Structure 1
C-alpha cells in the first residue's frame, strides 16, 4: 500500500528525480563535441562514429513505448534505481573502453537508463501534483533538463582540451553513485503496481517499427534518400508501426494506449511538439554547420555561441511554468512562436559578413521563445488526460519527440545538401576564377539560409495549430480560485 506523501517528502522526491534527470540529459549531449576526436582515437569514419548518437537515439526510441507497461508493473523506486544503475554501468564501460565496440555498447546501456527516466518523471508529477500546480513544477524540472545540454558543449570542450575524453564518463560516475545512494535513502513509491501482462507481440512490433523508422531517417542524411537501405527501412518501419497501432486500438490492455489522441488538447500539443522538436534539432545542426563550414569558426566558438541562449532558456523555465499556471498554454505558445518566427526570419539571408554578436542575440531570442513552449507544452498535453492515462501520454510524448528529432534532422540535412550543391554549380558558372574553398564556403552559407526558410515555414504552421488551442478552461480557473481561497 502506498502511503500518503507529505509536502516535505514530495520536495525530497522531486530533488532526487531532478538530479537523476539532469545527469541523464547531460550524458545524452555530452559526447556530441567529442565525435571528431573519437574518430582519430579509434581510427573510424564519420558514418561509424555517428552511431554513438544514432545508437543512443535508437535504444531510447524503441524503449519508450514499453515504459507505460514498466510503470504499471514496477515501483517508482525500482524503475528509478534501475535507470541510474544502467547509467552507471554504461558510464564505467565507456570510461574503460579500449575499442569502439565497447564504447558503443556502454553508450547503448546508458540509453536504456535515459529512456526510462523522462516518462517516469512526468508520470510521477501527474500523481503528486494537481493540474493547477503542475506548470510551476514542470518549470523547475525544465531548468534541469534545459540547463544540462546548455553547459554540455562547453564542459565537454574544456574536458577534451585539457584532460581526456575518458573523463566525460569518469566525471559522471561519482555523481551517479551519489544519486543512487539518495534514491535508496529517500525515494518513495507514488502509485500501486499491478500484475500487468506484457504483450510480447506489441513489444516486437514497436521495437521493429520505431527502430526502422528512426534508423531510416537517421541514415538518410549520410546515405541519401535514394539509398536502398534508407527506403527499405523506412517502408518496413511505417508498415510495422501501422500494424502496431492497429493492435493497440483493438487491445483491451494496450502496451501504448492510443486513446490519448481522443483528447483534443493532447493531440494539438503533440502536433506542436513535432514541429517544435524539428525546428530545435534543425537549428542545433544548421548553426554549427554555417559557422564552421561557411565561416571558419572553431567547434568551441560554435559551442560558446549556443551557451548564453541555452542558459537564459534554463533560467526562464521556472518563470514560464508559473505563467502557465496563471494564464494557461495558449498565450505562452503564441508569445513563444512569435519569438521563434522572428529568430528564424533573422537567418534566412545569412552571408559572409553576418556578425558573431548578431547570431548570439538571434540565438538568445530563439531560446527565449522555446522557454515559453517546451515545458508548458508537456504540461498542457498531460493535464488534458485523466490520471490513469498519464503514463501512456508521457510515453507517447517521448516517442513523438524521438521520431520528430530523427525526421527533422534528416529533412534539414537533405535540404541543406541539395541547396548547397545547387548554389555551388551556380557560383562556378558565374565566376570561373572562384577557388574550391571559396565555393564550398559560399555554398554552405546559402544552403544553410535555404534550410532556415523551411524552419520558418514550420514555425508559421505551429502558430496556426496553436490558434486552435482552447483558452484557459473554466475548470482550471475554478481550481485556481479554490486554491486561493484555501490559502487565504
Structure 2
C-alpha cells in the first residue's frame, strides 16, 4: 500500500466542523464563469474574423485550443490535487482564469487573444477536477446527490446560456465586453475563495512520473485535437493533421495506459475501473456526452442554415432547455439521494431514445415551438442520467481513488464531446453529399436546406442507436455503497 493511499484514507475530524455551504457556493461561482466561457465566444467568431482580419479556419483555434488544453490538463490534475491544497488549487485556477480573461479583453491582435484563451483554459482545466474532488471529500455518499446536482446546474446551465448571453451583448457592444463583463465575477470568486474556502484534501506529494505526463499530454492532446480538426476542417478525416495526430495520440494513449497499469505510483490510477459501477457509469456518460454535444452542434446549424434564423434567435431556441436542465439537476440529485440511480437513469435513457427518434422527424416545416419542446425533453432526459450515474459510479470508489476517478470522468467527457461533434458532423456532411448525388432534376434554391435536413436526419438516427445502447446499459445500474476502506487494495 503506497503512502498516497494511506494519507488519502485518513478521515480528518476537522471535516466534521467545516461549513460546507460556503465552500460549495465558492466552487459553484468559480466554476460557473469558467465553464460559461467555453461557449460565450463562439457566436462572436464572425465579428472576430472582421475585427482581427483572420480567416474563419484560424479563428476556430480560439475554441479548439481551449478544448485541447482542458483535455490535456485534467488527467494531470489527479497528480496536482495530491501536491497542492484545496485553496492553492482553486485560487491558482481562478487567478489564471482571471489573468487570461484580462489578456483576452485587451488583446490587440489574434495571437494575443489566443494566448489569453489558453491561459483561461489552464484555469478551467484545474477548476473542474478540484471542484468534484472537493465535493466527494466534503459530503458523505448519502448526501452527495444533492451537492453534485448543484454542480450539474453549473455544468449544464452555464454553456447553455453562453450563446444567448453572447448574442445579447454583441447586439450593442463589441466582443471585448464578453471578457470585460466576466472579469469582475472571476475576481469576486477569488476574493470569496480567499475568505471562505478551507483545505479539505490531504497533501501527500507522490512521486512525479514525467513519462506519464508526457504520454498523457501527447495522447489526450492528440485525440482531442484530431477529432476537433476533423469536425472543423473541409477535408474531414482525410486531412493529414487529423489522421496523423489521431494515430500518434492513440499510440501514446496505449503506452500511457500500459505505463499506468505497471507503475507502483500511477499518475492516473486506472484500477478505478475495477469498480463495476464506475466502469458502467463511465461508458454510459461517454455515450450521453457524445449525444449531447452533437445535438448542441447540430441544432444551431439546422436552425441557422436550414430555418434561416439568426445566431441570437437560435440561441434563444436552445435557452429554455438549458435553463430547465440546470434547475432540474439539484432536483434529480435529491431524488438520487432518496431513491437511488435506477429510478432516474432507466426512465431518462428511455426518454432519450424517444426524443432522438423525434429529432429524426424534423424538417424545414417544423415549428420553433416544436424544436424548443424536443430540446427541453432531451435536456430533461440528460439531467436524469448525467449526475445520478456519475455520482453513483464515484460512490463505489475508495477515498484514495477520488482524484483519479474525477480526473478520469472529466477527461473522458471532454474527449467524448470532441469525438461526438466530429463524428456527427461527418455523418451530417456525408448525408448532404449523398442527397446531392441521388438528386434528380434541376437544382432549386431549397436544395442546400433540404440536403442539410437529410444530413441532420442521418446524424440523429445514429444518435438514436447510441441512446438505445445507453438504455440497455442503464438496466444494469444498481445503487452503490461506500467501500470498506480497510479492505480496499491500493
So what's the TM-score if we normalise by structure 1? Answer: 0.94
CA distance in 1, matches of 2:58, 2:255: 31
Q: State yes or no: 1:383 paired with 2:395.
A: yes
Q: What aligned pairs does 1:234-383 form with structure 2 within 5 A after superposition?
A: 234-383=246-395
Residues 21-420 of structure 1 aligned to structure 2 (within 5 Å): 21-221=31-231, 222=233, 223-420=235-432
The alpha-carbon distance between structure 1 residues 334 and 194, as it changes in their structure 2 partners (threshold 3 A), is same
Q: Which of 463, 467, 472 is equivalent to 1:459? A: 467
Residue of structure 1 equivalent to 2:477:
469
What's the offset of the Cα at 1:144?
2.3
Contact 1:350 1:446 in 2 (8 A): no
Q: What are structure 2's unaligned runs of at least 5 residues?
A: 1-9, 483-490
After TM superposition, the structure 1 stretch with the greater mean CA deviation from structure 2, 186-195 or 413-422, is 186-195
Aligned residue pairs, count: 470
Distance in 2 (CA, whole Å) between partners of 1:46 and 1:149 is 22
**By how many angstroms is 1:8 displaced?**
6.3
Distance 1:180 1:124, change over 3 A: same
- Alpha-carbon shift at residue 150 of structure 1 (Å): 2.4
- In 2: Cα distance, 1:128 partner to 1:252 partner: 28
Q: Tell me if the contact between 1:340 and 1:370 (Cα under 8 Å) persists in the aligned partners.
A: yes
The residue matched to 2:14 in structure 1 has which SS? coil
**Could you tell me how far 1:402 is from its partner in structure 2?**
1.2
Q: 1:373 is paired with a residue of what secondary structure?
A: helix
Return 224-233 or 13-22, whichever deviates more.
Answer: 224-233
Say whether 1:450 aligns with 2:462: no
Q: Secondary structure at the match of 2:237?
A: coil
CA deviation after TM superposition for structure 1 residue 7, in Å = 5.8
1:240-270 CA deviation, whole Å, 9 max, x = no partner? 1100110000111101000011110000000
Report the 3-state secondary structure (helix = DSSP H, G, I; strand = E; otherwise coil) of the residue aligned with 1:72: coil
Determine the C-alpha separation between the residues in 2 that align with 1:459 and 1:201: 37
Q: Return the offset for 1:292.
A: 1.1
CA distance in structure 2 between the partners assigned to 1:282 and 1:378 by the alignment: 20
Q: List per-residue Cα deviations over 1:438-488 (Å, max 9, x = no partner).
A: 211110111111111010110001111111222x35x58xxxxxxxxxxxx
Runs of 4+ in 1 over 3 A off after TM superposition: 5-8
1:356-403 Cα deviation digits (max 9, x unpaired): 111111111001111111211221111010111001000000111111
Contact 1:317/1:371 (<8 A) preserved: yes
Contact 1:424–1:442 (8 Å) recurs in 2: no
Give 3-state SS (helix, strand or coil) of 2:171's partner.
Answer: helix
SS, match of residue 5 in structure 1 = helix
Task: Give the equivalent residue in structure 1 for 2:3.
Answer: none
Alignment gaps of 5+ in structure 1: 477-488
Secondary structure at the counterpart of residue 15 of structure 2: coil
Tell me, in whole angstroms, the C-alpha distance in 1 between the residues paired with 2:32 and 2:78.
Answer: 21
Change (3 A) 1:7 1:283: farther
Residue 290 of structure 1, CA deviation? 1.1
Residue 448 of structure 2 corresponds to: 440
Return the alpha-carbon distance in structure 2 between the equivalents of residues 189 and 130 of structure 1. 17
